[in-house]
Structure 1
Amino acid sequence: MEVISIIAQLAAVALLGWVAVYDARNFTIRNGTVLALLALYVLAQGALLFPTLRGDLVAGALLFGIGFVMWLLRGLGAGDAKLMLPLGMMLGMQGMLPFAALLMLLSVLLYLLIVICRAFGAERSLWGWLARMKTEGRVPYGVPLALASAPVIFIQAIWNV
């Protein structure tokens, strides 16, 4: 049953890669994607008989609560806030600290890139896309969420944490 859990977690990592690309292109996260991540969590942890269910639910509720408040303050899109529930559950309490550190680092880097690209008046390619985020006020925050959570979930799957 461990093999099923590992495969489900690796599938979640792959799905998070798709989330990053899709959100970057469309500035949206589909409900079906959030449900698919929840289903992968149930498969991964169900195969192990839910050994950390309580901590996983707390982590999911904590991230979703933060996302919900940020959504209310218009600092985050609804899809990004919804994505935080399955991310928290997949990460569990043991993955929250490395995820938070990676998310902070990636968020700061994204912000700096946006500001720098805008200051230099970039108009084309990736740099122009980043510069437009500053003027349009739209940031695909699913990208740093996915990029911060995927390596943590991957390491947990490989090391069976």
Structure 2
Amino acid sequence: MSLLLAASLVFQGLAILLLGRIAWTDFTTQRISNRHVLLLLCLGLGTLQFQSLQSHSWLEMGISAFGGLALFIALFPFWLLRKVGAGDVKLMSVTPFLIGGSNLALFSVLLLVFAIATATVIKNPFVLPAGMFRQYVQHMDEDGVVPFGVPISAATICAIAFQMYHAVVVATSSGILEQLN
């Protein structure tokens, strides 16, 4: 059992690193690679698999699959209208697999906070310290480009970190980690 927890934490840590790379790439190039999204999907499915084996329940995986499909169907028309990029739609569709169905509410609140913060920075670049950074953000405002991959990644990272913290606290309080010593 503790091996499943460790493998799950490793996969979640790798997902956090990949989400950081996706956020940076989306911020600098306004592109989200299909390869990165597929890798995130594999990491999310692996994490859910380990958690399902540990809890002896496949409900979380089913809820995640339903959530991913629902997000894809809901966001696809916005892509057709050119309001959201295709990479953003795919990244949002993969996030339920990364965070699980039980953390979707937390993810939604975090996404709202990070999206408002991103929009505020884009619309008010004077709050940023560096002149070059300010010019870059002003350029994004003039072109009407907002890298939504950044708040999506940030919200997902925070939700995964919360999930990892919760898993470690539960494992510590139940004595699983003490059995390793």
Q: Same fold (TM over 0.5)?
A: yes
**What is the Cα deviation at residue 98 of structure 1?**
1.4
Correspondence for 2:152: 145
Write the letter of the residue equivalent to 1:131. Q
**What is the Cα deviation at residue 65 of structure 1?**
2.4
Correspondence for 1:135: 142
Among residues 62, 71, 83, which one is paired with 2:79 in the alignment?
71
Contact 1:60 1:92 in 2 (8 A): no
**What is the Cα deviation at residue 45 of structure 1?**
1.8
2:11 equivalent to 1:15: no
**What is the Cα deviation at residue 33 of structure 1?**
0.2
Alignment of 1:17-96 (within 5 A): 17-48=20-51, 49=53, 51=58, 52-96=60-104
Aligned length: 159
The higher radius of gyration belongs to: 2
Residue-by-residue CA offset, 1:20-70 (whole Å, 9 max, x unaligned):
111111110000001100110122122233731111112212222233232
- Cα RMSD of the aligned pairs, angstroms, is 2.2
Give the 3-state SS of the residue equivalent to 2:83 in structure 1. Answer: coil
Runs of at least 5 residues in structure 2 that lack an aligned partner in the other structure: 171-181
Runs of at least 5 residues in structure 1 that lack an aligned partner in the other structure: none
**What is the Cα deviation at residue 96 of structure 1?**
1.3
Contact 2:75 2:89 in 1 (8 A): yes
Please report the TM-score for the alignment, with normalisation by the length of structure 1: 0.88
Write the letter of the residue equivalent to 2:6. V
Write the letter of the residue equivalent to 1:128. Q
CA distance in 2, matches of 1:65, 1:34: 17
Among residues 142, 151, 158, which one is paired with 2:165 in the alignment?
158
Write the letter of the residue equivalent to 1:19. I
**What is the Cα deviation at residue 154 of structure 1?**
1.5
Please report the TM-score for the alignment, with normalisation by the length of structure 2: 0.79
